[in-house]
Structure 1
Amino acid sequence: MLSILIPVYNYNALPLVNELVKQCNTCGINFEILCQDDASNSGENAQNQIINSFSNCAFFINDSNLGRGKNINSLAQKAKYDWFLILDCDTFPAQNSFIQNYIAAISESKSIYFGGIVYEDKKPEQEQLLRWIYGQKRETSAVLTSNLLIKKDVFLQHQFDESVTKYGYEDLLFFSVLKKNDFKITRIENPTFHLNLETSQVFLNKTKTAIENLFFLYQSGKISTDDSKIVKAFEVLKKVKLIRFSNFIFKKNQDKIERNLLSEKPSLFLFDLYKLGYFNFLNSCKVSKTLSVSRM
């Protein structure tokens, strides 16, 4: 019936597994819950090992870091049931009927369902504001693999691209491949809370890593302009020959923008400009290296 796959990294997944076991047992379904820490060497794994004591549940630890997508692929190879429910370890069902809602959806004969992500209404401390505001304003309307129900055969035919080993945009590429193969994602009202709020500085650093991933995917031809607003905006700037000017503006204002993003009133408009600016910067670095090599 249902294999629940939970990629873990430096997080206590035990409360989530407890809740899922309770809901699956209430539904009376055949299930398994497979969790796998991606070589985080975390002290949280002492608690995570308790998962192995539950019926139909297992907790594994990778010998080396695979990256989120490859970690999920690895879990999928271990799974035995016809449907996969992929959940991030720092999520938690918003409803007691979370599993039941997905079981009802399975009977509709579609292949992929996204239940949604929500954030708690309580405003966090200033150091976590950027992550919270971005999550509430952007992620709640996005389609992500942090709460995704998908048929096993569909996933195994179109797994995560394992060339993406760092944080960021593995979802974008995954959904791009599904779209190109004419699969549709059905969104239903079955959300999970996103619980783990990083500090704004950590989130900003991870965003830069994600943009580096996006640039790699763009340069390698794995995504198109239709897949990303950042890539689309970059292509427009390139067409009107404003890349160099845009990069100049970004470098001149980068520190000022970062101060805003770490403040008590972070602007998502500036955050968007920051991501585009960093993407432009990566392109200019590539061009500079190419010119340097050609002049040797």
Structure 2
Amino acid sequence: MLSILVPLYNYNVYPLVSELHKQCTDCGVHFEILCQDDASKSSLNVFNENVNTLSNCSFITLNQNIAHRENRNSLAEQAKYNYLLFIDGDSIIIHNDYIKKYITNLNDFDIVYGGRLHPEKCPSDNQKLRWKYGRFIEDKSVTNREIKSYQSLLFNNTLIKKHCFNRVKFDRKIKKYGHDDTQLSYQLSVSQAKVNHIDNPVEHGDIDTNLDYLEKIKESLENLILLYEEEKIDIGFVKLIQLYHFLKRTKSTFIISKIYVFFEKSLLKNLTGKNPNLWIFNLFRIGYLCSLNQKI
């Protein structure tokens, strides 16, 4: 019935798998849990090998890095059951009826998304940007997610029918971090897949440092502009692209890119500091996006 797919990189996934295994066993469902490390060569894989001692569970590590999208695709190809539950290796299960909730909410839906939460307190000042953006922007209630059902999908903690996933898959041509969920969600919207949003979140465990997150954001914006230029997503699907398209059409990207370059150090000082401002983060994103336009 259920294939739980856990892509990971340099993380101890055994506590997560142990909890998932317990809940699946208690529910009495046919299941498998497949974990695949993307060639991190991490010392933590010593602990991850313990996954192989659990029934219906496997852990392998790849010899060559294939990036997060292809790692997910690869796990889906290996899955033997009709329902795929994607959950990232750094997730924390916070409810003891997590699996049961998914099983009881399948009904006639193609996709069921449970949501994601960040901890109430930020682990450290050095992680505050990622924590703030996650807690105040990404973490949404079921009611808020249902307003824009497809745009709210994040493929960490998403259950999808295998035949539905096989129609879209993650774009293996894009190797950089970011917006893989955006493209896949857009494809699902085009195919009018049926989405069910439920209250069944996992907690984001491995929160990036401010600097690491900014580097990831740059990569994700490079992916986003690529999706835009190659017309792989509709302009109206992403607010940031809507704004960028307007600025490009009004020939404003050059001016904004120059302003961005002038204020870049000040923006970064705030965003890497102890109290990053999300409004400034938005300015940083649109500025960086416009600066990319000058390189195309």
For 1:63 and 1:120, the matched residues in 2 are separated by: 34
CA deviations 1:99-120 (Å, max 9, x no partner) are 00001012x1111011000111
For 1:238 and 1:211, the matched residues in 2 are separated by: 15
For 1:160 and 1:250, the matched residues in 2 are separated by: 32
Q: What's the counterpart of residue 173 of structure 2?
A: 163
Question: Offset at 1:67?
Answer: 1.3
Question: Offset at 1:230?
Answer: 1.6
TM-score normalized with structure 1 length: 0.94
Bigger Cα Rg: 1
Q: What's the counterpart of residue 16 of structure 1?
A: 16
For 2:284 and 2:44, the matched residues in 1 are separated by: 34
Q: Is the 8 A contact 2:7 2:89 kept in 1?
A: yes
Q: What's the counterpart of residue 52 of structure 2?
A: 52
CA deviations 1:175-207 (Å, max 9, x no partner) are 011111111322100000001111111111111
| Paired amino acid for 1:243 | T
Q: What's the counterpart of residue 264 of structure 2?
A: 254
Question: Offset at 1:239?
Answer: 2.1
For 2:40 and 2:242, the matched residues in 1 are separated by: 35
Q: What's the counterpart of residue 83 of structure 1?
A: 83
Q: What's the counterpart of residue 28 of structure 1?
A: 28
For 1:228 and 1:44, the matched residues in 2 are separated by: 37
Q: What's the counterpart of residue 62 of structure 2?
A: 62
> 1:243 pairs with 243, 249, 253, which one?
253
Paired residue secondary structure (1:255): helix
| Paired amino acid for 2:58 | A
For 1:43 and 1:239, the matched residues in 2 are separated by: 50
CA deviations 1:157-180 (Å, max 9, x no partner) are 211111121110000000011111
Does the alignment pair 1:209 with 2:209?
no
Q: What are the within-5 Å matches in structure 2 for residues 1-296 of structure 1? A: 1-106=1-106, 108-141=107-140, 142-286=152-296
For 1:99 and 1:74, the matched residues in 2 are separated by: 23
For 1:182 and 1:109, the matched residues in 2 are separated by: 13
| Paired amino acid for 1:191 | P
Q: What's the counterpart of residue 292 of structure 1?
A: none
Q: Is the 8 A contact 2:254 2:291 kept in 1?
A: no
For 2:282 and 2:25, the matched residues in 1 are separated by: 44
| Paired amino acid for 1:204 | L
Q: What's the counterpart of residue 146 of structure 2?
A: none
| Paired amino acid for 1:149 | L
Which segment drifts farther, 255-264 or 133-142? 133-142
Paired residue secondary structure (2:219): helix
Question: Offset at 1:92?
Answer: 1.5
Task: Name structure 2 gaps, 5 residues minimum.
Answer: 141-151
CA deviations 1:54-74 (Å, max 9, x no partner) are 110011112211111111110
Paired residue secondary structure (2:267): helix
| Paired amino acid for 1:102 | Y
Q: Is the 8 A contact 2:5 2:75 kept in 1?
A: yes
Count of residue pairs brought into register by the alignment: 285
Question: Offset at 1:128?
Answer: 0.7
Q: Which runs of 4+ in 1 moved over 6 A?
A: none
Question: Offset at 1:213?
Answer: 1.3
